[in-house]
Structure 1
Amino acid sequence: MGVTTGTDAVDEGFTRFSEEHAQGQLVPRIVDVALACADEVLVADGVDRLTGADLLRRAALVRSAVLAHHAGLDPRATPVAVLRGHDVGAVAAMVGVIAAGHPVVVLDPTTPAPRLRHYVEAAGASLVVSDTARTATAAEVAARVLDPDSADASAWPDHVDAAAALLGSPADPDDVAVIVYTSGSTGAPKGVACEHRSILHDTWVSSEGTGAYPAGSVVAHLLPMAFSAGVTPTLGALLVGARQELFDPRRRSIAELPGFLADVGADVLLASPAILRGVITSLGTRGRLPGLKSVTMAGETVHGAELAAIRRAVGPDCVVRNRYGSTETWLMTEYPISGDDESPDGATPVGWAVPGARLQVELEDGSLSDEGTGRVVLTSRWLGGRYWNAPEKTAEVFRDNPDGSRTFRTSDVGSLGSDGCLRLLGRSDHSVKVRGLLVEPGEVDALLFAQPDVREALVVGRPSARTGRMSLVAYVVPEGPRPQASAVRAVVRENLPSHMVPEHVVFLDALPRTERGKLDRSRLPDPAPSSAPFEVPRTGWEEVVFEQFCAVLELEDLSIHDDFFELGGDSLAAEALVSRLEALGDQSLAQIGTATLAAAPTVASFAAAVRSKVRSDRPTLVPLRPEGGERPLFLVAGAGSAALAMRTLAHQIVPGIPVLGLQANGLENRALPDWSVGRIARRHVATVRGEQPEGPYRIAGHSLGGLIALEMAHQLRRAGQEVETLIVLDSFPPDPALMPVVHHPSTLAKLKEGVSLALTGIKAHSGLGHYIRFFRQGNFLQRRYTTEVYPGRTLVLVAGDDVDAAARRQWGPHLSGDARIVEVAGEHMSILRDPRVASVAALVSAELRSEDAPAVLDLREHHGELADR
């Protein structure tokens, strides 16, 4: 962008962002930067890229549509919601709504619709800006839905005219620009109203004031825009003149992140500690993240060993920043570590107050002190937040001071040293943080209390003795017969975000109470241990496996008979376990894979299976759920994915049907890969016929696996075999024109990609780089696969919330038999995981039983993309 390093230097039309900009408004500054960078990319999401000119045009369209919908209303009192994915359209929509003078409420697309509707109603919004993939959900949460992407691109205004239009509704610096919702202990959400000037000042603090992402930076933005931690970089990068590259860790594998950072040339990474843990695991002990100058993390405690691993991965030239803030205050403190700085022991401090802020602690006598231990209190003249339409709640924690500053009493307890450095100790109330997200257990209590089979409920956070990280425990007193624990979790999962689902459910005859009738939390029993018999490792080899299980699952202790998956392990954790064991260097471990863990999921059985050195003559076959006397379902994994990723789906399919997974040759055995969809299918057909010599066959596949399953069905039919049903799980049709175009930032990057593809299955891998290489090779193959129309019975399931849903619906021209295309809730990978996988399993089960499918959206009826058969 050519921005110079001088604080007030002018280059290409805008000055470097300074603290003085906080006296102004958001939109004029964004417009200035966008005009100066009209031909430069400001926002990219891996699919779309917006230059400054593009951003101005798209934001102006949103502004115009919002004003048309809300003509005659006071914009300052009429919020507008935005429900989109982690994409460039969401960024443009936020700018457009703010430019219209309306406060914007960004909704998280992974939150259940009833909860989103609760936010919209509490804000008083009636309009939601969405996109085609989320229109159905948007219609559930608001009276009116606006889809700016449906507009004809030729109708987009000239970017100079668009800039003028965006400036047409000037705001006061004290006007509310954004409303961010958090939960109250009673279950009712609290909306924090954030003013223009407080956002502007927080942007300066977060970026230029601390040096985290100044002008010209390339910021890898992973944080959900619906939360305060995600709002700052979304608007902040536009304000300072940095390019933001959006990466959604809830839709894409964390194992892809290192390659993504390198491909986009990111020098700044904004992520939660949980995401960083996943990245470090995927890299392995020797993996590195070169090129980064700054890494910021916040949201939960980071312990010394974790911090050391992060610093090793990013190198001494990268500043690692541990931060602390809240929705009400934005960023409050920062603890930067770089170069030869010594890593602290134990929990990493959250650091010193940022410029313009003063930290104190409230002592037991109610007085404020500049050092000591107590409730953390922040004072700043830039503190402008308040609770939307809730002056009483605002008065409880905010105080206006005579000098024009404001004070906010947090709910955190901390220790403030004489040097001003703050260490957090916990919450002053019963709120807890789970996976870095604040949870008010009372919100879960209120939901459970409302269930007819629950008399009383109490949810608390219990820390791990080893890590101090929180999990939720629900204590439930049934009304009549005891429900299943899984049913209790299902109720929460259907109504609240996944991090609020209790890990343990404990049933009691009554909640313990004091003699005065108050709840006695000290007498709540610990959750029952695993039903498996407890036994410690019996041999040195079991001790080695035991240590790796504990490390991957982040558990201090477990029995050698505990099931890996019942303890919370998933396919990514399984891949990490295999990588850790392979890294030990023992030659006997060279051929292990996640298939071994699927068949032997305990320390005892896995250790025995590995040491037996029994080599399978079908290395691509993974028994996901081998039990059952009916014809099996053969389930083909997607590109670069171990078949184990579909274990959750397999275990929710109707009992009695064995489910056998198929994965790429060479993925987890020493062998060269197959270099066409046809060759992969031929190998899998041979494996299938080795298990089931004659048809009829049941075949399914996810992603690339759907195309391989299609080709297998063709080959089996040509061999005279009957294929009972083909099930395609969120796959592109066999039409390369429908698949996303691969963008390479440079010729060198394209060359490197080609070399990487050529080395698939050949070069030794570190961490999960092996899986990534097969993933890219699989994408290469699917872009080159076409075939004839398939005449057999077919069920196509499409993840309706995914960015590529429209393309993946286009199966009509490729199917001529009894075929259905059905849309399910979720995104490409989430449909294989709880809670979305339940509806997928129900549809697959109905198809295998030839039953009527559950009531879901059939796209033949609603989109007309398939003619009536």
Structure 2
Amino acid sequence: MPTEGTPSPAHRRSGEPTAADRPAPSAGLPALVAWHAARTPHALAVADGDSTLTYAQLVTAGRALAAHLRTHGVGPGDSVALLMPRCARTVVAQLALWWAGAVCVPLDPAHPRARSEALAAEAGATLTVGDSKLLESAALTGATLALPGEPLVDGDCAPAAEPGPDATAFIMFTSGSTGRPKGVAVPHSAIAELVSDPAYLTLTARDRVLFHSPMTFDASTFEVWGALANGAAVVVCTDERPSFEDLARHVERHGVTVAFFTTALFHQLAGRRSRIFSALRTVIVGGEAMSAHHARAVLRAFPWLELVNGYGPTEATTFTTSHRVTDADCDGQVPIGRSIAGAAVHLLDATGRPVEDGAQGELWIGGSRLAHGYTGQPELTAERFVQHPELGRLYRTGDLVSRRPDGLLDYHGRTDDQVKIRGFRIEPAEIEHALRERPEVADAAVTVHRPSPDDARLAAFVVAASGPVPRPDALRERLAAVLPAHLVPDEVRLIDALPLTPSGKVDRRALTDLVTTDAPGAPAGPLGPLEQAVAEIWSRSLGREVARADADFLALGGHSLLALAVTDDLHEELGVELTLADFFAAPTVAGHAALVERALLAAHSDLRPGAPEDTDAH
């Protein structure tokens, strides 16, 4: 019996595409989407709140917008920056840019203007297109074009020539050790090969895939184009910073079946046995080492769940290896699995020779899904993308990995100072460079502090220049004006000198040892009942005692993911829902207690002084 949305032979019209006609991944993403539109035109393609687009509507809108872009000078090979909120129009715009022949350079609306302009310039973008309100508020200095508020449905809908397999689809940025972000040029064929009929997880035309990652994060490539390359639907989470409860409600409301979570977010959801897992069939996790404890807890609580541990850098198109996690895997370290979807992995020693099973070696990646390199940085490209005399073109990851006798890979850390925090790849040197640019800073070093296995925080140590001593909160504010939020240290500490190893390098382990619990402050009075309740919730998430009404969440090392944990606990224990905007507008114990009190009074208006008495007659 034919599956839903697939015409039976008796009803199939002459010339209608069949499964045998499916384009090869080398045809590129637009061709795959167009094929599904011709085969199942009325199937759901994108769901955005209460609005939807079928495959036919998506293709029509994408081609019409491509024609609109061409009339405004967008042509083959142009790099065009895209500044839009996460919504259905974002998907249409990406498709339209490709059909106009352009390269898409996603920008994050949450990033500072200086950062967005620097990334657009680094990518060689000649134009920034996007949402009119965002473009107006960003006030970018280069050329801009506001896109129509609704998908276009008419005009010259004939697309330009399909982009070739080697054409660049995206330029996505990762942290750079020199202080200069690296723009990774990812080709169409690499993305199409990753997402076309994937064997590393279950993804069919019946599925709905959650799109909740920032466009600038390469996981969004899987979330959007993994769905559309397989005839499935993209379910867009339009909340800029959804709470745990927001995500669960969104998944339940729209029938989401497949989701990607960063490892840090997965750990938080797993620790809470979030009901989000009860609605999902497949979860793929990546970004950091997966906790066996959390993986086992989720698999035992939700035994039907397909849990996939994914690994891979942007330079090799999102996922290079994967492993379907079982309960038995959780007896030890959860492996990162085997190579997938055209990727090849090699474990080599310092001389470029293979290491034996069980020995640690640097992971070098080959195969058909490598990026072209770093835009505008030929020397760095040549350093990281190497022509191996026997294995061909390889990307040096800097990751230390070992291979088990059965072929599964285990991750063991880095050969350099690069770190992964909350799914983001971070070069401490980029933050250190931004700090040293400040005239009040003589030197700086950044390290990672892990107060608990599920929490990692950036700590910056600053040696002040001669003159007025800078305030740590002022330095954080100045960094926030030029760096994205994930690169702003959670804590800034002033020290007299950076500790050094005998070889003269910064002793980062000694710096980590300097991170202690709350410094003593002025005597504090007793906390009120609501303040005490808030302080106890903070203490659990922050991993340190909080006993002052004026304690500041950010100053104590709090960050956005911990804020989600706190708002979730406030909802569970006190019955109130705080948005992250409210949370960070008053980030003290006293401020949160006041918000909780206001929310409780609003929910129980009959408890407010002077509330009218119940006059209902019986």
Same-fold status (TM-score > 0.5): yes
Q: 2:23 touches 2:32 (CA, 8 Å); kept in 1?
A: no
Counterpart position of 2:88: 88
Q: 1:183 touches 1:440 (CA, 8 Å); kept in 2?
A: yes
**Counterpart-to-counterpart distance in 2, 1:281 and 1:247:** 23
Amino acid at match of 1:2: E
* Deviation string, structure 1 residues 103-160 (Cα, Å, up to 9, x no partner): 11111221111111111001111211211331224541x5222222247x7x6317xx
Counterpart position of 1:32: 35
Counterpart position of 1:45: 48
Counterpart position of 1:641: 577
Q: Structure 1 residues 420, 488: CA separation in 2 closer, same or farther (over 3 Å shift)?
A: same
Q: Structure 1 residues 35, 361: CA separation in 2 closer, same or farther (over 3 Å shift)?
A: same
Amino acid at match of 1:31: A
Displacement after TM superposition at 1:546 (Å): 13
Match of 1:481, SS state, is coil
Counterpart position of 1:245: 235
Counterpart position of 1:2: 4
Displacement after TM superposition at 1:684 (Å): 4.7
**Counterpart-to-counterpart distance in 2, 1:564 and 1:513:** 32
Q: 2:449 touches 2:459 (CA, 8 Å); kept in 1?
A: yes
Higher relative contact order (CA 8 A, sep 6+): 2
* Deviation string, structure 1 residues 46-69 (Cα, Å, up to 9, x no partner): 143111232123212331232222
Counterpart position of 1:310: 298
Displacement after TM superposition at 1:467 (Å): 0.7
Q: Is 1:407 the counterpart of 2:394 in the alignment? A: yes
**Counterpart-to-counterpart distance in 2, 1:441 and 1:196:** 31
Q: 2:458 aligns with which of 441, 463, 472?
A: 472
Q: Is 1:289 the counterpart of 2:277 in the alignment? A: yes
Displacement after TM superposition at 1:337 (Å): 2.5
* Deviation string, structure 1 residues 320-343 (Cα, Å, up to 9, x no partner): 0010011010211111025xx424
Q: Structure 1 residues 351, 514: CA separation in 2 closer, same or farther (over 3 Å shift)?
A: closer
Q: 1:383 touches 1:405 (CA, 8 Å); kept in 2?
A: no
Counterpart position of 1:270: 260
Kindly, what percent of the aligned residue pairs are identical? 28
Q: 2:457 touches 2:557 (CA, 8 Å); kept in 1?
A: no
Q: 1:225 touches 1:234 (CA, 8 Å); kept in 2?
A: no
Q: How many matched pairs?
A: 583
Q: Is 1:438 the counterpart of 2:432 in the alignment? A: no
Match of 1:209, SS state, is coil
**Counterpart-to-counterpart distance in 2, 1:83 and 1:260:** 24
Q: Structure 1 residues 197, 434: CA separation in 2 closer, same or farther (over 3 Å shift)?
A: same
Q: 1:381 touches 1:405 (CA, 8 Å); kept in 2?
A: no
**Counterpart-to-counterpart distance in 2, 1:344 and 1:547:** 34
RMSD value, Cα: 3.6
Q: Is 1:500 the counterpart of 2:449 in the alignment? A: no
Amino acid at match of 1:101: G
**Counterpart-to-counterpart distance in 2, 1:157 and 1:546:** 55
**Counterpart-to-counterpart distance in 1, 2:338 and 2:183:** 27
Counterpart position of 2:439: 452
Q: 1:130 touches 1:147 (CA, 8 Å); kept in 2?
A: yes
Q: Structure 1 residues 441, 293: CA separation in 2 closer, same or farther (over 3 Å shift)?
A: same
Q: Is 1:115 the counterpart of 2:115 in the alignment? A: yes
| Mean Cα deviation higher: 16-25 or 288-297 | 16-25
* Deviation string, structure 1 residues 710-766 (Cα, Å, up to 9, x no partner): xxxxxxxxxxxxxxxxxxxxxxxxxxxxxxxxxxxxxxxxxxxxxxxxxxxxxxxxx
Q: 1:221 touches 1:271 (CA, 8 Å); kept in 2?
A: no
Q: 1:175 touches 1:196 (CA, 8 Å); kept in 2?
A: yes
Counterpart position of 1:858: none
**Counterpart-to-counterpart distance in 2, 1:651 and 1:317:** 39
Amino acid at match of 2:153: W
Give the alignment of 1:521-540 within 5 angstroms: 521-524=508-511, 526-532=514-520
**Counterpart-to-counterpart distance in 2, 1:381 and 1:659:** 53
Q: 2:33 touches 2:55 (CA, 8 Å); kept in 1?
A: no
Counterpart position of 1:146: 145
**Counterpart-to-counterpart distance in 2, 1:27 and 1:277:** 35
Q: Structure 1 residues 425, 259: CA separation in 2 closer, same or farther (over 3 Å shift)?
A: same
Q: Is 1:198 the counterpart of 2:190 in the alignment? A: yes
**Counterpart-to-counterpart distance in 2, 1:190 and 1:17:** 40
Counterpart position of 1:124: 124
Amino acid at match of 1:470: A
Counterpart position of 1:259: 249
**Counterpart-to-counterpart distance in 1, 2:173 and 2:63:** 26
Displacement after TM superposition at 1:100 (Å): 0.9
Amino acid at match of 1:61: A
Q: 1:444 touches 1:500 (CA, 8 Å); kept in 2?
A: yes
Displacement after TM superposition at 1:502 (Å): 1.3
Match of 1:241, SS state, is coil
Q: 1:217 aligns with which of 207, 217, 222?
A: 207
Q: Structure 1 residues 216, 18: CA separation in 2 closer, same or farther (over 3 Å shift)?
A: farther
Counterpart position of 1:427: 414
Q: 2:180 aligns with which of 170, 185, 188?
A: 188
Match of 1:44, SS state, is strand
Counterpart position of 1:298: 286
Q: 2:223 touches 2:259 (CA, 8 Å); kept in 1?
A: no
Q: Is 1:61 the counterpart of 2:58 in the alignment? A: no
Normalising by structure 1, report the TM-score.
0.61
**Counterpart-to-counterpart distance in 1, 2:389 and 2:19:** 32
Match of 2:514, SS state, is coil
* Deviation string, structure 1 residues 442-461 (Cα, Å, up to 9, x no partner): 11111111112111111122
